[in-house]
Amino acid sequence: MRVRKAVIPVAGLGTRFLPATKAIPKEMIPIIDKPMIQYIVEECVGAGIEEIIFVTARGKDAILDHFDISFELETTLRAKGKADLLKICTEVSQMVTVTAVRQKEALGLGHAVLTAKSAVGNEPFAVLLGDDLVVSKVPCIRQLISVFEKREQPVIGVMQVPREETGKYGIIGGKEIAGSGGKLIQVKTMVEKPKPASAPSNLACPGRYVLTPKIFELLEKTKPGAGGEIQLTDALAKLPDNGGLLACIFDGRRYDTGDKLGYIEATIAFALQRPEFKKSVRELLTRYSQ
């Protein structure tokens, strides 16, 4: 069973980044010179995904335009002989096939995923959340797809978080799978944003999932949960009794770009990885920390 499609919910209002997000989607805010959403799509492409299904809403057209051909821009760059810039633009438009479904009401992440049901069809698929960027040798979603291909069970990416932060995430509880080197867990429970005292562990899911159409059946029966929203976590929590759910402690560094400080951190970290900026950014950081 190959994973060919990825669902990326992008319908959120992005209120945490107002006023920047008044007229542009938060997913289009750049880290250096690339919109955040492009890093997510590149993770998918690097993992062998062939089609992206954006779950979108009013005011989000810029995301689709970004991955489309920009005829005027490309014609102008070609006429001016700007081959390097033309290459940057065409690479983005040729990166991957993109489709979109509209989530007409903001009823929660679970509802957003359910909106993609007919676009996904009867095959396994990935889900990636745009606020989480993961830097790793092997793309994070590829690590999960590899587990799925071997074990044929839905799998979610998890990472250790400090106990006091469990209230920000979907948290799993379960049993380590023998022989997996501590990397795979057979999930028994999953709770959305539990208080530290009631959290089943400190293993949190930062928005990377490989699922099967079974989740749609479960989402259809899922009632509004935390925050009055239809939560993906609540449907995932039913998987242990409906064929199983695995969690994989992925390799990589995750940045929470939905948070302002996380966004600043990601900008610095990504700049330090770019050969053309590395030295000057280091110098700037030293100067500003004195």
Q: Which residues bind to ligand G1P, rule: CB under 6 A?
A: 109, 129, 131-132, 169-170, 192, 204-207, 231-233
- Residue 26 or 86: which CB sits closer to ligand G1P? 26
Length of the chain: 290
Tell me the sheet residues that pair with 170: 192, 205
Q: How far is the CB of 170 from ligand G1P (least distance, A)?
A: 3
Q: Which is nearer to ligand G1P, 193 or 214 (CB)?
A: 193
Which of 95, 26, 32 lies closest to 67, judged by CA?
95
Q: Which is nearer to ligand G1P, 10 or 109 (CB)?
A: 109
CB of 13 to ligand G1P, least distance (A): 12
In angstroms, give the least distance from the CB of 232 to ligand G1P: 6
Extract the runs of DSSP E, i.e. beta strands, from the chain: 5-9, 30-31, 34-35, 51-56, 97-102, 125-128, 132-135, 155-160, 170-176, 184-192, 203-205, 208-211, 246-249, 253-256
Q: Which residue's beta carbon is nearest to the bound ligand G1P?
A: 170
- Of the candidates 95, 4, 108, the residue with the CA atom closest to the CA atom of residue 47: 4
DSSP string for residues in 71-95: HHHHHHHHHTT-HHHHHHHHHHHHS
In the complex, minimum distance from the CB of residue 53 to ligand G1P, in angstroms, rounded to a whole number? 18
| 35 or 170: CB nearest ligand G1P | 170
Nearer to ligand G1P, 54 or 169 (CB): 169
Q: Which structure tokens are listed for 97?
A: 């096939």
The least distance separating ligand G1P from the CB of residue 204, rounded to whole angstroms, comes to: 6
